[in-house]
Amino acid sequence: MSSTEHIATAHVHRDDVGSRMGMWLFLFTEILLFGGMFFLYSVYRFQFAHEFHVAAKELNTIIGAFNTAILLTSSLTMVLAIIAIQRKQKTLSIVMQIITIGLALFFLVNKYFEWTAKIHHGIYPGSEELLSKDSGEILFYGLYYMMTGLHGLHVVVGMVLIGIMTRLTARNSITHDSYVRLENAGLYWHLVDIIWIFLFPLFYLIT
Amino acid sequence: MEQHNNHTEHTHSYGIYILVWLALMTLTAVTVAVAGMDIGNFTVATALLIACVKAYLVLTIFMHLKQEGKTFFVFVLIALFFLIISFVLLFSDYSFQ
């Protein structure tokens, strides 16, 4: 019996470490993508320190802090989903993954209300209200929409990815013995969290 | 049965992750509180320092860097090195313009 098992598994080409390493390499390109925007932000913040302070006062710190808490919690549920599958607790893992997706959705809903409130006040790229302000404030809001927008896009991608993983877990394609795809989705999700960890103080806490 | 060696050995219990999550939440509260105080130039420095501590916790615990092989650690260090180099070059250029 064990010999047939051995033959059966011998043909499975699997390299979980290599798989995770590939994911990390991809994450580095993401770091550089956002890094470029952080470069822009830092130079303009030095150049227009006062304008950035004035512009940042308009942002809602409470929503920002709340969204930080949501993302941190979703990172926790993601990591718990992986531990659960390792312990053969399939249902718990699926529940944790669904909670993660739910929290991501919650984050985006908050973001939606935050953005619509801004747009309602006439502050959006190219608006008359914004163009009448100092160039430093225009830059601040340009960066704000660009960086939180791109981050939001990553949240959407993360939701889709975790959704696929939930389906695979339900179909027993991801099991306690083979869960590297779930781990990689988790790595992506944690990076999205890390980017927000830096976006939050840089945009919401400079009053 | 070689496959089993391929896994990261996660010996962590649920507890450690909840503990790290609590630390991350506390640090968020601290960074909001510090931003409310007027400590001049230290405000940005403190905010970035706290953000770095949070990122470190996520990288090492949530992303399991601590349990991965040394190669992963070197990988991340090299990526961060290039990011920092870019910042240094950017600001040395910007300051002398």
Closest by CA to A74, choosing from A105, A35, A45, A52, is A105
Q: Which DSSP symbol is given to B59?
A: I
Closest by CA to B31, choosing from A58, A198, A149, A63, is A198
For residue A32, which residues of chain B lie inside 8 Å, CB to CB? Answer: 82-83
Mean pLDDT (whole number) for A130-153: 94
Cβ–Cβ contact B60 with A under 8 A: no
Asked if A68 lies within 8 A of B35 by C-beta distance, the reply is: no
In chain A, what is the straight-line distance between the N-terminal and C-terminal CA atoms, in Å?
Answer: 69
Mean pLDDT lowest for which of A37-41, A54-58, A164-168, B6-10?
Answer: B6-10
Question: Can you tell me the distance from the alpha carbon of A188 to that of A157, in angstroms, rounded to the nearest whole number?
Answer: 9
Residue of B28, B48, B83 with shortest CB distance to A31:
B83
Is the CB of residue A85 less than 8 Å from the CB of residue A180? no
Contacts with B, A 24-63, CB within 8 Å:
24-25, 28, 31-32, 35, 39, 42-43, 46, 61
Whether B11 shows a pLDDT value over 60: the answer reads: no
Q: Read off the pLDDT band of B4 (50, 70, 90).
A: very low
Whether A4 shows a pLDDT value over 60: the answer reads: no
For A194, the closest chain B residue by CA position comes to: B55
Question: Can you tell me the distance from the alpha carbon of A96 to that of A49, in angstroms, rounded to the nearest whole number?
Answer: 42
Cβ–Cβ contact B18 with A under 8 A: yes
Fold of A16-204: Four Helix Bundle (Hemerythrin (Met), subunit A) (1.20.120)
For A117, the token pair is 């409130």
Q: B57: distance to nearest CA of chain A, Å?
A: 10
For residue B25, which residues of chain A lie inside 8 Å, CB to CB? Answer: 69, 72
Highest mean pLDDT among A2-6, A70-74, B73-77: A70-74
ipTM of the shown complex:
0.89
Whether B1 shows a pLDDT value over 50: the answer reads: no
Whether A3 shows a pLDDT value over 70: the answer reads: no
Asked if A68 lies within 8 A of B28 by C-beta distance, the reply is: yes
